Structure 1
Amino acid sequence: MTEAHPISRFPIPDLADMPEDIRNRILAVQEKSGFIPNVFLVLAHRPDEFRAFFAYHDALMEKPGNLSKAEREMIVVATSNLNQCQYCVVAHGAILRIRAKNPLIADQVAINYRKADISQRQKAMLDFAVKVSRSAETVGEADFDVLRSHGFDEEDIWDIAGIAAFFGLSNRMANVTGMRPNAEFYSMGRG
């Protein structure tokens, strides 16, 4: 499958012209995954924002805690679907399939997590993430009580909200920039 469309409506800097720290991060990702995810190239247009974006991304998505890395990806996939972000649903769907070791999970979560083959705890987590995405102003103590009843603590609740909120930004920027998912993502974790 060839890229029929540009990966962004904004200019993509040449790798050789990028600041060294950004170029090194991109090359490390390429070495690990075998390709450069388009999000890195698109965001490299604004180096300071690239650094801030990935610092916050890593703080939320790579930290240890009670949420597994697969559960963190579930939040991204479910909320990115609400925000109609093709890039994030496809890219993070691939990561979710790999982290959950389940070729079906990402499609289920993206389409309708309430019917997905996930635990009641995970459904409560996604209910909260969706509420943060759609109507954070209505979040109240009852929402915290539900999460606590499923074993989430205050730090977990912060993480769920932080991931949902951060990917609201990510989804909007991906949509505005016209960011296209790499073809490689579509088959990852399916075999």
Structure 2
Amino acid sequence: ASLLNFLLKVFLFAVKHFKVDIEPPANLQPSSYKILSPLKDPLPVVEKKDYRKILAEAEAQGKPISPVKRIKPLSVDIDKCPVCGAPADYLYSFGKDPEDFQKLQCKVCKHQWAPSRPAPKKSHPTYRCPFCGYALSKDKTRKNFNCQFIRGSWAFFETDCFCCKANMASSSLSRNCPKLGSFLSL
């Protein structure tokens, strides 16, 4: 305990008599560092891969890409690569993924995927306005109801609660959703 008191006194003495500069000087940033601003800098152009261009480039470099020579046909019925559009002649059977689904690999763009694997379920459902169908985002959780946000205005969807009906009637949601006006008059 006395050691801690001694260290505390040394620390307080050092803080009182010595100035510690916590902020680094501005000139420490390298000149090659560029801060991207979404308002000034445009988004990068994302090119879609085309298997014809990739095959032509490989042919120009002297390394043509030939179709896959199969002993057995593909066990998965697929027409083309989802990334570059290469036909099934350029698709390898590439083993199985950890969940035991058949994987494929495109010989042209090297993309790997499992076509028979189901899409992963969302961790939360998408709530929609029952009147106009727009997606709602849950912004606040209250004791008796949840506040949802739709197209720039609030919606309170727990219609059994009188407070929710009053808040819903006072919000500007009825102006945005023409079908909602008849619901509020119930």
Q: What's the TM-score once normalised by structure 1's chain length?
A: 0.20
Structure of greater relative contact order (alpha carbons < 8 Å, 6+ residues apart): 1
When you count strand as a share of all residues, which structure comes out higher?
Answer: 2
Q: Larger % of helix: which?
A: 1
Please, what TM-score do these two structures have when normalized by structure 2?
Answer: 0.20
Bigger radius of gyration among the two = 2
